[in-house]
Structure 1
């Protein structure tokens, strides 16, 4: 596995390199101290399996870099490693396509758990983000619910936290495939193209998946499945 670490603090970059290297002898870690260095590294070598991205970079906004990389390298998973653990930051990162969010104060074991989950096709959202946080305002005036509110309301309204796992949702094989691609942040058009379906059919499947999870947005679906995955040991893709 080849990992690109992006952090503009040399000490943190060095520490993370050492930690990630501990995942195994087959792990190669490359560090980049800026967004510019990261861009140059990916242009020279497109064989990376994972990117770990800090949100606070000296030469760029981490959220902008996340969106840029997800657009330029859609098959390359990005995990945010940030000093922040605010629910609003977690939700924004997931909205932009991050496959995981790990606060820097997390333990090495938590980081390993997150990376294993992401590399197996899941999405990691740490339990420590599930605290009180004011909702962020969207440009259209709607509020973004906190991770706590999303999960808590689902639990109260539908017994969500008692579900034994994604397999219990009663999804059809096709709906499970749509869910797996939805969790990768793919829009309906790309899902339709990959599965050989019409966009309207994909919309119907997405609506069915959201109903099964008792949520009403893609971000809430990602958060709900992430919590279920952590409880049950990971999201399994449909065969």
Structure 2
């Protein structure tokens, strides 16, 4: 498994390289220290996974480019904050995982396993805060899961979505067809007012925390 690691700091690259090689047998990590070097590496061949420090100069633009040109290539954002807006931007731009810098190494390893299995990793995030009282009073609170017009099975699907499971893995977990899972996911989206898996996971995660 080839992994492209994009981080400006040599010590961070060394630590993450060792971690990946330890937990993912046969992995080959290519560490680069700039967005330009990352683009050059991608031209030489598409890796299995990209780890990206979003705070690098041009990091967000690189994330957007990867999503645009290599739609199925999973990108995990590392060294991010636990700011909800930043996470929303990263996931909305195509990242399949978002790991804040406060996370421990075990969390990072679990996130990588999850993303490589086709899931999405979203950590617990801080509630979104608006500085204007008028906007805060106008914001409608999210409903409790108990108040959502979902069947018990659909709530189970929602729970599995927050765990990052793909439709295929959810179907295996529930013992139903993938098409049935798609119907349940569509119902969950409608109840949450979400337009994507990522948005549904973020809404559910924020409400549960």
Contact 2:6/2:34 (<8 A) preserved: yes
Specify whether residues 25 and 126 from structure 1 end up closer, same or farther in structure 2 by C-alpha distance, changes over 3 A only.
same
Q: Which runs of 5+ in 2 are unaligned?
A: 161-169
CA distance in structure 1 between the aligned counterparts of 2:89 and 2:33, rounded to whole angstroms: 23
- Within 5 Å, give how 1:76-225 maps onto structure 2: 76-127=73-124, 129=125, 131-134=126-129, 153-155=143-145, 157-158=147-148, 163-165=155-157, 166=160, 173-174=178-179, 176=181, 208=187, 210-211=189-190, 214-218=192-196, 219-223=198-202
Aligned partner of residue 4 in structure 1, secondary structure: strand
- Structure 1 residue 216: Cα displacement: 2.9
Contact 1:100/1:123 (<8 A) preserved: yes
Contact 2:4/2:49 (<8 A) preserved: yes
1:54 to 2:53 alignment: yes
TM-score, normalised by the number of residues in structure 1: 0.64
CA distance in structure 1 between the aligned counterparts of 2:94 and 2:24, rounded to whole angstroms: 27
TM-score, normalised by the number of residues in structure 2: 0.73
CA distance in structure 1 between the aligned counterparts of 2:19 and 2:62, rounded to whole angstroms: 23
CA distance in structure 2 between the aligned counterparts of 1:133 and 1:220, rounded to whole angstroms: 14
- Structure 1 residue 177: Cα displacement: 5.3
- Structure 1 residue 9: Cα displacement: 1.5
CA distance in structure 2 between the aligned counterparts of 1:98 and 1:124, rounded to whole angstroms: 9
- Structure 1 residue 10: Cα displacement: 1.6
CA distance in structure 2 between the aligned counterparts of 1:124 and 1:210, rounded to whole angstroms: 18
- Structure 1 residue 134: Cα displacement: 2.3
Q: Which runs of 5+ in 1 are unaligned?
A: 137-141, 144-148, 180-205, 228-239
Q: Which runs of 4+ in 1 moved over 4 A?
A: 166-169, 206-209
Cα deviation code 1:43-83 (max 9, x no counterpart): 0122x11001111113x1x2211111111111110011124
Specify whether residues 97 and 83 from structure 1 end up closer, same or farther in structure 2 by C-alpha distance, changes over 3 A only.
closer
